Each structure stands twice: as C-alpha cells, then as structure tokens.
Chain A
Amino acid sequence: MPIFVYDNTFEGLLTCIFEAYSRKQFPNTIQPEGKQPENLFDDTIKIKSDSEKASRVWKGIQNKLSAKNKQLPYHAFLSEEEEIEIKILRFARRLFSEKENIETDFGDPDIMEIVQTSRKVKKEAMRMMQFVRFQQTKDGLYFCGIEPQYDVLPLVINHFQNRFADQNWLLYDLHRNYGAFWNKKTVEEVVLTSREMNRNTGQVSENVLNESDAFYQTLWKSYFENINIKERKNLRLQRQHMPRRFWKYLTEKQ
C-alpha cells in the first residue's frame, strides 16, 4: 500500500482523499512533507494541493454531515496530531460509503477519536478566547502573543473580529510564528520580524508600550488580588481551569 505525502495543509489533505478515490488506491499512511526520510521500499506518492479537487471533497463531506458537525474533520485536522490524516481519510470513507449518518457511531474508534480530537481543539480555541491579553502599543495596536497547543488561530478570528471591531488588534502564535492582524476592515495573515517583543512570553517591550497600558495592567493586577477570597484558597482548582502553560502570558500572573 502506498504512502501519500502532502503539503500539510487541510486543502492538501482533502486533495489526498480525492486522489485516493480517483486512483482507487487507498494509502495506509498520509504524511506531511519532510516529516520522515522517504523509505526506499515504500511506494511514496506526492500529492499536489489542488483547490478544485479539495473543494469537491469538502462539499461531499459537508453533504453527509449534520449541521452541528460540519467542521468536525477540519477541527480534528488542526490538532496536528500524528496520524490524524489517515483517520480523517477512514472517517470520510465511511461517510461516503454508508447511507446512514455515521458521525454518532462512537463505537468506531476512528469516529470517537475524531470527535474527541475536535473537542480538544475547540477547547483550546475557547482558551484563546479566555486567556488572550492585549497590550496596547504607542500606535494604538492591541497586541497579544500566545502559544496555543493546537493551531487554533483560524478558529478564533471571528470571535475577536466581532468583539473588537473598532480597534486594531494583532493575535500572534509565537510557536507557529504567524499572526492575524485586524485593521478594522479585514484580517490579514502576518509574520513578525520585530524585536519589540519577548518571543517567549509575548510581552511587548516597554519603549513601545502605551503609557495608559501600564496603568490598566496595574489596576487589573490589583483587582485580581483583591477579588480573591483567601479563606477559600484552592490552588488545584485554579490550575485545573487555568493550565500553568498560560500563566506566562497572563497580565495578572506577571
């Protein structure tokens, strides 16, 4: 059985599914480019992303999914988990081959895993909505550098765009090194070369920080301290809801 190699985009993965059907040749692994040295004995096929093919597959999948699960394979894909590609392919094959809606057949390990992975991804997206902290720079930009566990920036753009429609903001994924910039009209994908921020904590350096921002940061910290009830101390509960890995980005935890 062949190995498909693709460009690590969702479009690429959908193209792989298209190719598998059109070649009547189903791979047993689908791997992102450059992931592993090619094995001489395997029969490796490079699949080139093709938006037309991808969108045909996507439409086919959409037709088979119920309203609340329309984004299921996409969310699972954003997890970047190993072998998620082949699971999505198997999921799609079951979708296409059966009349009934199979998305609730949680007895099928692939389906359960895709559902659970997509939940994890959505939870991480939720955490972005929770734990993003904007710092305002001198030129009025609201900036946040953060490192989500999964590639969830695309999932939260809408939320921030609605909520902060009247301010310029930039959400930056420090690990994947790209960001989304809202200029009050559209969202653009950007890559930052600036040295005016700490690449580890996302903190903007003082010389570009708006003066009023330091004021709000201080106020927020003192609010955070004073709203706590000491007699109810429960650090485990705090960590359960607010994982440690986010603390370095949180204003109130500085």
Chain B
Amino acid sequence: MSKDRVQQKLTILADAAKYDVSCASSGSNRPNASKGIGSSVSCGICHSFTEDGRCVSLFKILMTNYCIYDCAYCINRRSNDRPRATFTVDEIVQLTIGFYRRNYIEGLFLSSGVIKSPDYTMERMVQVVRKLRLEEKFNGYIHMKTIPGASEELVSQAGLFADRLSVNIEIPTEPNLKKLAPEKNFPGIMTPMEQIRNSILTSKEERRKYRKAPTFAPAGQSTQLIVGATPETDRQIILLSSKLYQTQKLKRVYYSGYLPVNDYDKRLPAIDKPPLVRENRLYQSDWLMRFYRFRAEEILSDDQPFLDLEVDPKLGYALRNLHLYPIDVNTADYEMILRIPGVGVQSAQRIIQARRHRKLTFYHLKKIGVVLKRAKYFIKTNELPAALRSDLPPENLKRMLLAGSTSKRKKAQDTQLSLFANYQPALATLQLQH
C-alpha cells in the first residue's frame, strides 16, 4: 500500500460514508472458531465516540464515492464536483484487519456509490467480504449495504458472509422518493428487503434442523430513513417503522436527520441545521415500540401527526392519558409499570422482582433507579397519597415537569441510548478464575 495515497483515499471515503447513521454492531454471536482472528459479541461494542457524540463501532467506509446516480439528498451524487476515490479490495481488507488487531473497531461496515452497474458494484463488495472471511479467517462483525438493483444471486452471497445486511429506504414515501431519486423506486428497495427476510427465516429454520447449515445475515437486516428532507409526518414515519419491524422483521430502523448537503437543489427544504431534536424523539418512539410494548398508534394519534419536541413521547402519552394514572407499583402489571414516565426497562424489571419480597416505598424506588422527580406524579405506593394532581390540566403538569428537569446532569440528546442497556450477555461468559 502506498501510504500517502491510502491515507488520501481514506479521508475521502470516510467523509463520504459518514452520512449513513446505522453503525451498531450488535446482534451477532460469531465465536472465533477457525483459530483465526476476531469474534462478535451479541451486545455490540462502541470503541470510540466522535465529537458529534456518535458511536464508532465499525470501520464505516465507502468502497467508492463515484456514483452514476443523482439522488438529490446525497453528497456523492454524480452532479457534485467533489474529490473522488476508489479503494481496491486488498486495501479495504488490510485496513480492516490492521484496525481490528489494534482493537479500534468491531468490524467493517461496507457501503458504496454505484459504479458501472449495481451488479458490478455489489460483486466487488462481495469480493471484499469473501476475502475477509475465507482468506483472512476474519470473524469480526461485517455489515454490508446492498446496492439497490443488485441481483438476487449477489445478495445471497453477501448474506453468507455478512452479519447484517441493510437496504436503505431513505425517503419514507414512494412519490417523494421518485421526486428526489428518480433513478430509484420502491420495488427496487422492497424486493431485496423481502429476499433477505426470507433467506434469514429459511436459514434459521434449517439451522434448527442441522446445526451446521450456513448462517444468513445472523444479525438481521436494518434500514435508514432520512427525516426532514421531505414533508412526511412523524406519524407516517412511525407507522412505516412499525410495519417494517412486523412484516419485514427488521432488527433496526435508523433515523437520520436531514443534513442540507446540496442546498442548491430546490427540491429540498431550505434548512440550516439538521432536525436533531425531532430525530431524537423518533428514536425514543422507536424504543417505545421495541422495548416498552407500545403500539405505533398509541404514540401518535390521527389528529396529532407530529411528536411534541418539548417532552419525550412516553411522557406525552402519559399526559394525554391521565385517567390511567397513578399506577400502583406494588400491584400493576409489567406493561403498566413500563408506562410510568421515569421508569426504564431495568427499573421496571427490578420493581416486579423486588415487590415479591416486600412492599415497595418511594425510598426503595429511588434505590432501584426510578427517576422520582418525574415518576412521582404518576405512581402510588402504600405509604403516601399519590402525588398526581389529576385535577391539574395536562398543560400545567407538563410545565411543572419541564421546570423540574433542568438538572445539571441533564443528559445530552442521544440516539444510541440503549447500546449498553443489554451489555450483560458479553459478560455472562466470563468466568471466575478460581
């Protein structure tokens, strides 16, 4: 490798790759079986955090940033005059291994602009991952983006080597996609997504029967939606995500606040900052669906198409449904405990376990990790009359809660909050050396 040239390419292709926000490395358990290098742990590990506060887990890179397409929202579109570069297969393989051995990364996230044709591009990407797995015996995590329009055959090959595959929808509705990316269409996205879903299901089925049957994208598939480039409502977006989780069995939907990279293009809204708060509220809603047993329809109603930017969606739900509160922590079902603002999944589980031993009081709840400042309005224990003042109109309660939430340790907006929530599995295997 010529050092300077590689560094130059790296600069260009990392910069071009940064807009894809899906970077988690979770969901795969690939032991180092072949006495090669690497392992994947099911919780995923973030190795660093950039100044934007995002997790660096995978070596996220484009194979090339040349592209024959011209999607309006993309920095790499062909009509942009930008420095361009293409990595060779060997360069990506060597960089991945070199970084991995130094514990900089969990693995590779390979994506690419489209050169010549979707198949030509995808074929080269498959060469990279094949080489990593078969020649380098690399067992680290691999996330591969499938190129819209690539053949079924190439997608199946990719699935044999990758832990996770993704097909990005980007624009949440078809007419708007057509408008911004005339060369793309929904079928071109949904067809590979369905193919991947089916192959994952089949491979799981077969592995139940024969333990040696090959895996297919064992960490599942994900997609990304750009938020704020087109006028879709939050309700439309959440309903779409919910459908993707249910029917396409996606592992994750990522939301990426639109960054105005091509402000000359008048098809796009004129904004100067990405809508980060909105993006964060969408992630919180996504959490509610995946971990808090909320249905999409409960998060936003027909007459309320956008998320409240001032309060998180769970508190918003509570304020709209005050008749369900206060909730008695000593008797309520797990589902209801999860709906108390200020109670996370872990606290909810602890409440259920701990109340078998004794009646819980506010003191216990505090020790358990409940954020009482918030929760106190919505719970009841034996000792105290409920603090909930349901005679207050919700708007007043909201003001009170907002006023009380300016603590010094207020957490920064975070779109990756649960990365560590489930970190135990990795450690469960660690044994005491006694």
| Chain A positions near chain B (C-beta within 8 angstroms) | 10-11, 54-55, 58, 68, 71, 74, 100, 102, 104-109, 112, 122-123, 125-126, 129-136, 142, 144, 154-159, 162-167, 212-213, 215-216, 218-220, 222-224, 226-238, 240-242, 250-252
| Chain B positions near chain A (C-beta within 8 angstroms) | 3, 6-7, 10-11, 14-15, 17-19, 31-32, 35-39, 41, 45-56, 59-60, 95, 98-99, 101-104, 257, 259, 273-274, 276, 350, 353-354, 356-358, 360, 364, 367-368, 411-414, 416, 420, 423-424, 426-434
Decide if A142 touches B11 in the complex (CB within 8 Å). Answer: no
A88 to chain B, nearest CB (A): 14
Decide if A129 touches B426 in the complex (CB within 8 Å). Answer: yes
B4 to chain A, nearest CB (A): 10
Q: In the complex, what residues of B have CB within 8 A of residue A159's CB?
A: 39, 41, 426, 430
Q: In the complex, what residues of A have CB within 8 A of residue B368's CB?
A: 106, 112
Chain A: CB-nearest residue to B139: A163
- CB-defined A-B contacts under 8 Å, sample of 18: A106-B367, A107-B360, A123-B423, A125-B430, A142-B102, A154-B433, A157-B433, A164-B101, A167-B37, A218-B7, A223-B59, A229-B52, A232-B53, A232-B276, A238-B49, A240-B414, A241-B46, A251-B102
Decide if A106 touches B53 in the complex (CB within 8 Å). Answer: no
Report how far A165 CA is from B101 CA in the complex, Å: 10
Q: In the complex, what residues of A have CB within 8 A of residue B259's CB?
A: 229, 231-232
Chain A: CB-nearest residue to B276: A232
Q: Which of A129, A213, A224 contacts B50 (CB 8 A)?
A: A224
How many pairs of A and B residues are in contact by the CB < 8 Å rule?
A: 203
**Known contacts A216-B98, A223-B59; is-contact A133 B104 (Cβ 8 Å):** yes
Report how far A132 CA is from B35 CA in the complex, Å: 22
Report how far A76 CA is from B99 CA in the complex, Å: 33
Q: In the complex, what residues of A have CB within 8 A of residue B45's CB?
A: 126, 129-130
**Known contacts A126-B420, A144-B103, A234-B413; is-contact A109 B367 (Cβ 8 Å):** yes
B292 to chain A, nearest CB (A): 21
Report how far A109 CA is from B357 CA in the complex, Å: 13
Chain B: CB-nearest residue to A131: B47
Q: In the complex, what residues of B have CB within 8 A of residue A107's CB?
A: 354, 357-358, 360, 364, 367
**Known contacts A58-B434, A68-B428, A237-B414; is-contact A226 B48 (Cβ 8 Å):** no
